[in-house]
Structure 1
């Protein structure tokens, strides 16, 4: 009786929306500043909205350091309409998360024909997961997850329909293309979804789907690819040349699989159950292709900047949209009429009152345990996290960026390894010395003194694991590490060119932020005084006020 089922589904939809809003208001801390890495994309979005193009530094050539291309463009459009950068970034993320929760529920109900309890469980599992934590940290991860979930829904429909209409085939291809425009690895994910469709339908019945998908990516995707190559000067996003230049990254591979397993662990057993017969084995293999294939693809790049396993998060909604069919033939509990008030429930009458009560309590306990497990993943967003609702503490880089904003518009340059909060909030021209936002450094492999001489930065700031109390050990082993050798190069450059060591902030002498100031410009003395006497530099892993170890360097 579809006409009677719809009001109940709408009630559940309203409940999911209300529950997500309640969870966000009660358990997610939106008072935190952007996470260090998220601020990089915010800088690009702001520059694009202001009409400067996709640039890291205003007036310089374009650089594709914002790998979330379509998310950056959408954020810039909202900024152009009058929203602040923070409102734009978080607004897109929050709405995307909410829509993905609903897609997960409705795909299970209408495409997988799952019962209401399992569909509701899937929606709640996603609602309380790490998606809102990414929103709070200003990441666009939920936007990518929304596109991936939409593409997989269309792929599931293609699997079901014997003669799918062209409109559905085209929608699948276009949605896959959008997924790839949001993040480059979306192309890999969409292609793996296509392969899953082919496995389920067979090559012969997939020819039109393959052609439509191929033509869409070749024409529209190819046009975008040629445009970006011409616009940026290189075919791939700038961070790829830095993060993918050392061959295969096995640590990233293992971390990716571990992250995917941890976030989706309760449903792994259902996929194992899928191998119980030849018919279900085919479906299991097909569904695992985009899941395992996407998780394995991260062997191509280093794992840096993977806040809260955000690179693997998009697999969570895909798993939640894929698990219910494997229970469809496992007794009464897997059928679509289980606990459906509009279906015959005479089987319940065969149970005693005590049995019904026991089953109900056990089911509610299992349901709540799974939702709690998903919520508990918010406790593992960073290795230094102290509370489950707050992934990081007060950040001195944020406060320092606001201090330096007093000098915005004076043409000052900062060379820094911390290319997020300080460049964004200060508005200074910034050299990302690691190279994620600098084409020369990314393609050259490292920063050089000659490159620094082109800018003659007014401040050199870097993060490393030594201090005046614990000097760096210049051994061959240490110098072979690219980060260490980069900071030694910056330190040497600053000292050889007469820079003043204004501050070495840190929570311990083994983990610090160095600040060198060039002494020969108009505001140098004032800046040296402000930085050396800065009292609001809090260490982001602990929230404690940092110690300025440069004071020990000046003592006799």
Structure 2
């Protein structure tokens, strides 16, 4: 690997670096969800306790536990929190800063060592990839992993001191358990590159790793994360929604990844000997993680586990795209510009071939964050606002645990040592935050976890269910302490207040879709209509004003939208007086508030606005 001549000044390099960082920040910001990823809330809880002087402690005052498996990341998150940033802003900002700077540094390194086209390719591929960009700002440990992989890459691409190699390898080994072999691969790659055993680097890396894992054994009572023990020993009976093909399918085939895979194979074919140390490092990461997560895969798709493997593909694919330029310059002296045009054209082709799938992936992730994560985070916030500080909460997720601001019994056993017992029966916590059993509805929720204990539903969060997915989250409170809870709001069904239903011909539907939401579909020609006892409903909820929101369901198929579906005409009348007469399209909901007098009814009529095609209307009445 020969260094290219540096023709630009340090100031120009800084300006270029800053511009690349801004590109990455823009790409990451466009992928940010409404809530941090659930496991990111684990780090927030640990970071907050660290600022109280309690390191790696789940519940303040309890014994430390190595729960979140990346022990260094809460330390990083705690720094901006200590400087006064709000917790959510701190974890997102630290992630975006760490990831954008690391990826921008990789762009410059690859551009310097292999040519501008290679750097440009890495910039485009990384910014396009939904996984890398989303997990950079989702609150998980991915940004620190990217920073350490960038550090390791620097030691291979440039002449680096032995202590730097050892530091990079040691920090990789500490950062996550599945990066221990990556640290070893870095040392092996330097052995191949320098053609001598890297004794000093090995000693430093071993000292760092042994210091941490020895400390962990003494401080936590185990040399490996508690979450690792739980997942390895106690989650085999969990129903799995993925199979052994998950990791390979995601890394090699989803979205832009299939292009990265092809270009990486091309790099391996053309440069495996010349770039042997680098190929051993990159290929080794890919093989180790592929084997590990094919044999021992989680019960649901933890896609951030694949980010190290994806980073290796991004680097190898970028080098592969730059190879035609080198080959063209070698065989056609003075005509390398032609090869550059071909490479840039190929970049443009990849962009247009993958942008739609990446946008689709971003939409799905943001919908999950704005619905699923939002519901369980809101459940935690509700508990914080409406229950005494002394209440103990049982839940299995990070967001409700963090936002509840209460002592939490972690039912996932990721952040507490495993107990072969039913925690609800054993400890009788005052509050449960649970997800519904599949098939149950917000009006009649069913939970396997309660098993008949004396708990009552006090609040339901069903934005996810109302959007057409079979999930909602519920706060339950032990019956003997209900009097201490404020703003109890049990499930209410709208259907008892609905009468005079007239379904449209052929396709007409009217049914409950979550709490206080109706699914309405017009007929092929005629409208679906019904009468709603507005005053009776408001009397029941002790309110005087009715809030109505009508919008097309967010899970309407993309193909249907392209056909012009999701387009309805709604009329709302009060004593034959029109209150609403609007067209509702995808992404264009309406919201209205109406004062209602005693004895008043509203008439709703929904037609297809001239085209019967997937007209999924969600009508929320509060």
User: TM-score w.r.t. structure 1 length?
Assistant: 0.74
Q: Residue 122 of structure 2 aligns with which residue?
A: 122
The structural deviation recorded for 1:518 is: 0.6
Aligned pair in 2 of structure 1 residues 386, 115: CA closer, same or farther (>3 Å)? closer
**For each residue in 1:187-221, what CA deviation from the matched residue of structure 2 results, as whole angstroms up to 9, or x when unmatched?**
122222333444555xxx231x1x33432233222
Distance across 1 between alignment mates of 2:485 and 2:235:
46
Q: Residue 458 of structure 1 aligns with which residue?
A: 430
**Which structure dedicates a bigger proportion of its chain to strand?**
2
Asked whether the equivalents of residues 275 and 281 of structure 1 are also in contact (C-alpha less than 8 Å), the reply is: no
Distance across 2 between alignment mates of 1:101 and 1:509:
35
**Structure 2 unaligned spans of 5+:** 495-511, 518-622
Q: Residue 272 of structure 1 aligns with which residue?
A: 265
**For each residue in 1:273-292, what CA deviation from the matched residue of structure 2 results, as whole angstroms up to 9, or x when unmatched?**
33358835956862422222
Aligned pair in 2 of structure 1 residues 149, 104: CA closer, same or farther (>3 Å)? same
2:160 is the alignment partner of 1:180: no
2:363 is the alignment partner of 1:368: no
**Structure 1 unaligned spans of 5+:** 162-166, 339-344, 350-355, 474-486, 536-543, 550-556
* Number of matched pairs: 482
Q: Residue 602 of structure 2 aligns with which residue?
A: none
2:515 is the alignment partner of 1:547: yes
Larger radius of gyration: 2
Aligned pair in 2 of structure 1 residues 252, 96: CA closer, same or farther (>3 Å)? farther
Distance across 2 between alignment mates of 1:276 and 1:244:
39
471, 474, 491: which one aligns with 2:450: 491
The structural deviation recorded for 1:171 is: 0.6
Distance across 1 between alignment mates of 2:489 and 2:442:
22
**Which structure dedicates a bigger proportion of its chain to helix?**
1
The structural deviation recorded for 1:305 is: 6.4
Q: Residue 182 of structure 2 aligns with which residue?
A: 189
Indicate the SS of the match to 1:430.
strand
Q: Residue 16 of structure 1 aligns with which residue?
A: 20
Indicate the SS of the match to 1:392.
helix
The structural deviation recorded for 1:121 is: 1.7
Asked whether the equivalents of residues 147 and 179 of structure 1 are also in contact (C-alpha less than 8 Å), the reply is: yes
The structural deviation recorded for 1:89 is: 1.0
Asked whether the equivalents of residues 121 and 318 of structure 2 are also in contact (C-alpha less than 8 Å), the reply is: no
The structural deviation recorded for 1:469 is: 9.2
Instruction: Note the 1:119-158 alignment, pairs <5 A.
Output: 119-130=119-130, 131-157=132-158
Q: Residue 7 of structure 2 aligns with which residue?
A: 4
301, 307, 310: which one aligns with 2:304: 310
The structural deviation recorded for 1:93 is: 0.9
Distance across 2 between alignment mates of 1:247 and 1:58:
27
**For each residue in 1:41-88, what CA deviation from the matched residue of structure 2 results, as whole angstroms up to 9, or x when unmatched?**
211111212223322112221111111211111112321222221222
The structural deviation recorded for 1:109 is: 3.0
Instruction: Note the 1:181-260 alignment, pairs <5 A.
Output: 181-199=174-192, 205-207=195-197, 209=198, 211-245=199-233, 253-260=244-251
Distance across 1 between alignment mates of 2:94 and 2:207:
28
Asked whether the equivalents of residues 98 and 127 of structure 1 are also in contact (C-alpha less than 8 Å), the reply is: no
Distance across 1 between alignment mates of 2:321 and 2:376:
50
Q: Residue 477 of structure 1 aligns with which residue?
A: none
Aligned pair in 2 of structure 1 residues 510, 360: CA closer, same or farther (>3 Å)? closer
Distance across 2 between alignment mates of 1:370 and 1:132:
18
The structural deviation recorded for 1:311 is: 1.3
